[in-house]
């Protein structure tokens, strides 16, 4: 048994020694025909660069979406009131359904035992504000103190408001990172005052940065989550709500946090049933289940990567055909050389190995250059378009392995043809 292992090791060392001369000869042949070698590699370079850059763009976009969904909270359920800009249509719906109300929240709390925290939300778009915002007017979110844990808000200065402040409709607020920079760009904001419409609110805290979706996602509005002012729900309802606007919903959003053992899909069905019953199937709300969105986006990411690889692999296929074409032309040019090698004792498998090594070397070097080009294209897209791009190790390995495999597959036929040449005829070939 030990003898067979030793024999196998000697055999592999012998093969390794045989490959070294073939590798040096392949390098010499490619160096002698630099321009043709480069043109042959172009297909590999473009193909690998396309795979790496396209996957990096897709990975960057998908990572942003996945991170945003994770920020929503995989143990949360979010109910959003559907916006109806047409007053006539809104009046028709209100004859059927009262819209999202605090009563809905109380019924859900009573019937869903898996809840650990919950809050309503009242969103107000101010008509005026002091200090005057330098950019877009921040929106005001009226929420309960539980919203901080539900949304995973991170305080960087001051504190979040408490239950006693919500119950007493205290005129306090917490600024998002963007709202702070928008209203108080020069210094600290805690302790300062913000006038929203005709009401003054004291700033008691500032939040850290949050991710923001670039487009609407399953019923969630696309908005800058950093350019927000958070105030107690009771304060917003008492101080800012337009009491004359009878068509407004009492609240326009619900946030529910479930315990770790809860099945978010099953609880979502229960909540949907409760709301459909009280709203008489008016369809005036959207229920978002971040856990299901996360799973769906991961499936979409996998499909996207497969499609991108399939599309980019067409370039590699074209590059492989180019390698085969050039190798066949090279065989015609070097027929006499092949005859000389056969005459001095080279076997068919030696000729086969020589040309196969050349084909693999072309695709290997082309793959390395393609990876460099892919990195460059990815960075260029990120700089010029402002997109997030991520070059992953898996995309680099995939592109590189496919390029070498293409060189191997498309190099077999030319190498076999070279090995089958008759030595006598090859020596007579001019």
Residues 152 and 55 in one domain: no
The predicted model gives 402-408 an average pLDDT of 78
- What is the percentage of the chain residues whose pLDDT exceeds 90? 28
Q: Which domain holds residue 392?
A: 21-67+297-428
Domain total for the chain?
A: 2
Which residues lie closer than 8 Å to 327 by C-beta, 6 or more apart? Answer: 355, 358, 359, 410, 411, 414, 415
Asked whether residue 160 carries a pLDDT value surpassing 90, the answer given is yes
Which of 239, 261, 283 is where one domain is finished? Answer: 283
Residues 37 and 129 in one domain: no
Residues 253 and 153 in one domain: yes
Q: How do residues 45-58 score in pLDDT, each as one tens digit?
A: 887 888 788 778 87
For position 18, what pLDDT does the model report? 62
- What is the percentage of the chain residues whose pLDDT exceeds 70? 87
What pTM value is reported for the model?
0.66
The predicted model gives 306-319 an average pLDDT of 72
Residues 121 and 51 in one domain: no
Instruction: Specify if 138 maps to a domain.
Output: yes
Instruction: Specify if 290 maps to a domain.
Output: no
For position 213, what pLDDT does the model report? 63
Q: How do residues 352-382 score in pLDDT, each as one tens digit?
A: 887 788 888 888 888 888 888 888 888 888 8
Per-residue pLDDT band for 256 (boundaries 50, 70, 90) equals very high
Asked whether residue 247 carries a pLDDT value surpassing 50, the answer given is no
Instruction: Specify if 267 maps to a domain.
Output: yes
The predicted model gives 112-138 an average pLDDT of 91
Residues 375 and 420 in one domain: yes
Q: How do residues 324-348 score in pLDDT, each as one tens digit?
A: 887 777 777 777 777 777 777 777 7
Asked whether residue 246 carries a pLDDT value surpassing 60, the answer given is no
Residues 164 and 312 in one domain: no
For position 117, what pLDDT does the model report? 92
Asked whether residue 12 carries a pLDDT value surpassing 50, the answer given is no
Instruction: Specify if 55 maps to a domain.
Output: yes
Q: How do residues 52-97 score in pLDDT, each as one tens digit?
A: 887 788 777 777 776 777 677 778 898 988 887 788 887 888 888 8
Highest mean pLDDT among 16-25, 285-294, 313-322: 285-294
Residues 158 and 202 in one domain: yes
Instruction: Specify if 16 maps to a domain.
Output: no
For position 264, what pLDDT does the model report? 87
Asked whether residue 303 carries a pLDDT value surpassing 90, the answer given is no
Residues 128 and 56 in one domain: no
The predicted model gives 317-322 an average pLDDT of 76
For position 260, what pLDDT does the model report? 85
Q: How do residues 24-35 score in pLDDT, each as one tens digit?
A: 777 777 777 777
Average confidence score pLDDT of the chain: 81
């Amino acid at each position: 048994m030990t003898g067979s292992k030793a024999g196998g090791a000697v055999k592999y060392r012998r093969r390794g020694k045989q490959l070294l001369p073939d590798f040096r000869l392949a390098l010499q042949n490619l160096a002698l025909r630099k321009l043709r070698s480069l043109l042959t590699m172009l297909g590999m370079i473009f193909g690998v660069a396309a795979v790496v850059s396209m996957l990096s763009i897709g990975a960057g976009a998908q990572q942003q979406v996945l991170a945003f969904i994770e920020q929503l909270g995989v143990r949360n359920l979010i109910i959003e009131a559907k916006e109806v800009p047409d007053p006539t249509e809104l009046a028709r719906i209100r004859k059927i359904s009262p819209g999202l109300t605090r009563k809905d929240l109380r019924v859900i709390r009573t019937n869903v035992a898996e809840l650990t925290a919950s809050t309503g939300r009242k969103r107000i778009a101010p008509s005026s504000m002091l200090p005057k915002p330098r950019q877009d007017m921040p929106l005001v979110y009226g929420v309960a103190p539980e919203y901080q844990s539900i949304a995973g808000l991170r305080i960087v200065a001051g504190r979040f408001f408490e239950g006693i402040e919500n119950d007493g409709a205290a005129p306090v607020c917490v600024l998002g990172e963007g709202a702070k920079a928008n209203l108080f760009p020069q210094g600290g904001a805690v302790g300062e005052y913000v006038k929203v419409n005709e009401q003054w609110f004291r700033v008691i805290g500032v939040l850290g940065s949050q991710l923001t979706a670039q487009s609407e996602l399953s019923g969630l509005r696309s908005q800058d989550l950093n350019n927000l002012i958070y105030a107690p729900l009771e304060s917003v309802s008492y101080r800012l709500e337009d009491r004359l606007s009878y068509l407004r919903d009492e609240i326009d959003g619900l946030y529910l946090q479930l315990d770790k053992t809860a099945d978010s899909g099953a609880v979502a069905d229960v909540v949907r049933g409760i709301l459909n019953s009280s709203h008489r199937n008016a369809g005036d709300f959207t229920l978002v289940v971040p856990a299901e969105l996360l799973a769906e986006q991961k499936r979409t990411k996998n499909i996207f990567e497969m499609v991108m690889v399939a599309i980019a692999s067409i370039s590699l296929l074209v590059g492989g055909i180019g390698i085969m074409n050039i190798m066949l032309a090279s065989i015609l040019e070097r027929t006499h050389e092949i005859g000389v090698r056969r005459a001095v004792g080279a076997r068919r498998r030696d000729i086969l190995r020589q040309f196969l090594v050349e084909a693999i070397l072309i695709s290997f070097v082309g793959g390395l250059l393609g990876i460099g080009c892919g990195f460059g294209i990815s960075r260029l897209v990120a700089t010029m378009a402002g997109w997030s791009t991520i070059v992953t190790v898996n995309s680099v390995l995939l592109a590189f392995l496919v390029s070498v495999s293409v060189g191997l597959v498309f190099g077999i036929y030319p190498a076999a043809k070279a090995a089958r040449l008759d030595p006598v005829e090859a020596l007579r070939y001019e």
